[in-house]
Copies of this chain bind each other. A is one copy, B any other.
């Protein structure tokens, strides 16, 4: 196709994308047509000139990838797919309906969507992960990510900025649709394109300023990005919100507002229809991609780890050993850390598999976001940091859950048992955060063997998962033949005379075992459960134990009382009429020695003994 006719064809595609976006949002009665109109020329160029992909096979591992970080422009993305023949054009009018997968913001229900977007500033972190994955599989696919100007204020964008440069990701190309208008007012830097470029250049990116409605300029910018080596490119495109519809173009007060049915939308559509130009040749088609490659095979299961009963090993260290072992067995395993790899023991993986380790530095949103991108493209990523600092990425975890994204998080240094560093370093709400997401698997092993076996389980479970590990060394209590599964637990002590069931996790399992022994000296027996899988939870065994131990369930956890093990067990057994006595941290803790803190905050063996002997029906 001649250059000029290519431009005409793309221009007409952009006009169709605008028309489809306007129609769909008006039909839905909600949505963001003006945010689609500013992006339409850029989207047309990306999908119908720049990207190499097979429209019939979204999962071809060598397809170029596109992430719509400004997820509220979903209708223009769906319109591009209609243009590519991936969805039926008439289905566009089902936008935002309960019976349609064309949701208000893109989710991976749709095979072309890698990660759910709609919470701004996340897509670019995922795009970093998608670009890292190309390196993992030795593919030359490129990754494109479109951002809005409003979302550039999000700190996570700048985490991605440094991460992409540090990794020299020249396969990554960002596009900022600078339409100058946020939701409530002009965006932070308005239409000052040089302000954007200066920031990206200072962070080490190649930056290109263009008029985002000039198709020649758009195509040249993509050419320039593709030939830039050693660093990522950011195309900063000056656009008009509502471009193409004169009565809204560049005007505030039109964010997230569809055109009203009737005269208003008809006027908009009539204007857009006028904008078609003659084409000499058929419309541009998305270019198909090369031969698909066979998918990776799942490897043989690992054998048991080589721990001996009684060995003292911190579960965080067993985690590091386990991912390193797993990584040797399966090249889909990837590890990420946020500059605490010598505390989380991710360093064990890094030492053995340096090419599959990604150091995010102290940027937890980037770490989790990149993991989301890696997972979306077939890797099995294990991001790790102090459990407390996963809260920094809480919104990313929320979005990973929405996308049922296959990330495997590991949080170390849980609870007051870390001791002297004090509350800022103690995770006391991580179980609540993870458990609140209905599809996040939550594991909490107490010893090295269970840690090892559960790392393997979480790796091959499909969906987001979280493992909580502890700082102190704990004795190995399981042998090579013990088995563990998602949704399981272990009854560690059991007798017919048990007067209560005590349910611990991690470090408190040992407090429960000690309480068992102390009570034994008084002739009292208790049942002790290691609740290594907090979500899903083994309701049947908990209910059985409650029935067999006079209905008394006592949970003990190194976590705040809200949202943790106590709440999880209570929710599980509620349908059978049982209530739960919760031993948990109930106030903001302070620095101190681990044993001192466990005791002061009411979760030591002594407090378990008191709860059991208190004798009241709790």
Q: Which residues of chain A have a CB within 8 Å of any CB of chain B?
A: 28-31, 71, 96-98, 100, 103-105, 107, 109, 116-121, 150-151, 153-159, 162, 166, 182-185, 187-188, 198-199, 201-203, 337, 339-343, 347, 359-363, 365-366, 388-389, 391-392, 394-395, 398-399, 401-402, 404, 419-425, 428-429, 432-433, 435-439, 535, 560-564, 566-568, 570-571, 573-582, 585-588, 590-593, 596-597, 600, 617-618
Is B392 touching A119 in the complex (CB atoms < 8 A)? yes
Is B591 touching A582 in the complex (CB atoms < 8 A)? no
- Set of chain B residues within 8 Å of A366, measured between Cβ atoms: 155
Is B362 touching A103 in the complex (CB atoms < 8 A)? no
Looking across the interface, which residue of chain B has its beta carbon closest to that of A182? B339
Which single member of B31, B117, B202, B362 contacts A199 (CB below 8 Å)?
A: B202
- Set of chain B residues within 8 Å of A535, measured between Cβ atoms: 562
Is B188 touching A198 in the complex (CB atoms < 8 A)? no
Name the distance in Å between A450's Cβ and chain B's nearest Cβ. 23
A-B contact pairs, 28 of them (CB 8 A): A98-B593, A98-B596, A98-B600, A103-B591, A119-B424, A121-B362, A153-B162, A153-B339, A155-B155, A183-B342, A183-B343, A184-B339, A184-B347, A388-B395, A402-B423, A402-B424, A432-B432, A432-B563, A438-B560, A438-B587, A439-B588, A535-B562, A563-B563, A567-B570, A567-B571, A570-B571, A571-B582, A575-B618
- Set of chain B residues within 8 Å of A590, measured between Cβ atoms: 98, 103, 107, 109
Contacts known (A107-B422, A436-B432, A575-B618); A96 close to B184, Cβ less than 8 A: no
Which single member of B30, B31, B71, B155 contacts A158 (CB below 8 Å)?
A: B155
- Set of chain B residues within 8 Å of A96, measured between Cβ atoms: 420-422, 591-592
A132 to B560, CA, bound (A): 33
A201 to B96, CA, bound (A): 43
Is B359 touching A185 in the complex (CB atoms < 8 A)? yes
Looking across the interface, which residue of chain B has its beta carbon closest to that of A589? B402
- Set of chain B residues within 8 Å of A340, measured between Cβ atoms: 183-184
Is B432 touching A592 in the complex (CB atoms < 8 A)? no
Is B104 touching A591 in the complex (CB atoms < 8 A)? yes
Is B581 touching A579 in the complex (CB atoms < 8 A)? no
Is B570 touching A581 in the complex (CB atoms < 8 A)? no
Contacts known (A183-B339, A362-B182, A618-B575); A98 close to B597, Cβ less than 8 A: yes
Q: Interface centre among A184, A564, A582, A617, by most B CB within 10 Å?
A: A184
* A-B contacts besides A154-B159, A155-B157, A184-B339, 10 pairs, CB < 8 Å: A120-B362, A150-B339, A153-B362, A153-B363, A154-B362, A155-B156, A388-B398, A394-B394, A437-B560, A575-B581
Is B118 touching A577 in the complex (CB atoms < 8 A)? no
- Set of chain B residues within 8 Å of A342, measured between Cβ atoms: 183-184
- Set of chain B residues within 8 Å of A597, measured between Cβ atoms: 98
Looking across the interface, which residue of chain B has its beta carbon closest to that of A203? B199
Which single member of B97, B188, B436 contacts A433 (CB below 8 Å)?
A: B436
Name the distance in Å between A47's Cβ and chain B's nearest Cβ. 22
- Set of chain B residues within 8 Å of A436, measured between Cβ atoms: 428-429, 432-433, 560, 562-564
Is A391 touching B392 in the complex (CB atoms < 8 A)? no
A28 to B155, CA, bound (A): 35
Looking across the interface, which residue of chain B has its beta carbon closest to that of A197? B202
A29 to B594, CA, bound (A): 13
Is B391 touching A184 in the complex (CB atoms < 8 A)? no
Q: Interface centre among A98, A103, A118, A153, by most B CB within 10 Å?
A: A153
Is B563 touching A435 in the complex (CB atoms < 8 A)? yes
Contacts known (A424-B119, A560-B438, A588-B438); A198 close to B187, Cβ less than 8 A: no
A97 to B124, CA, bound (A): 43
- Closest 4 CB pairs between A and B? A155-B155, A118-B424, A98-B592, A202-B202
Which single member of B29, B188, B582 contacts A166 (CB below 8 Å)?
A: B188
- Set of chain B residues within 8 Å of A402, measured between Cβ atoms: 423-424, 588
Looking across the interface, which residue of chain B has its beta carbon closest to that of A158? B158
Contacts known (A391-B395, A424-B117); A162 close to B183, Cβ less than 8 A: no
A397 to B74, CA, bound (A): 31
- Set of chain B residues within 8 Å of A425, measured between Cβ atoms: 104-105, 118
Is A159 touching B155 in the complex (CB atoms < 8 A)? yes
Is A395 touching B398 in the complex (CB atoms < 8 A)? no
Looking across the interface, which residue of chain B has its beta carbon closest to that of A421? B104
Name the distance in Å between A128's Cβ and chain B's nearest Cβ. 13
Looking across the interface, which residue of chain B has its beta carbon closest to that of A347? B184
Is A422 touching B118 in the complex (CB atoms < 8 A)? yes
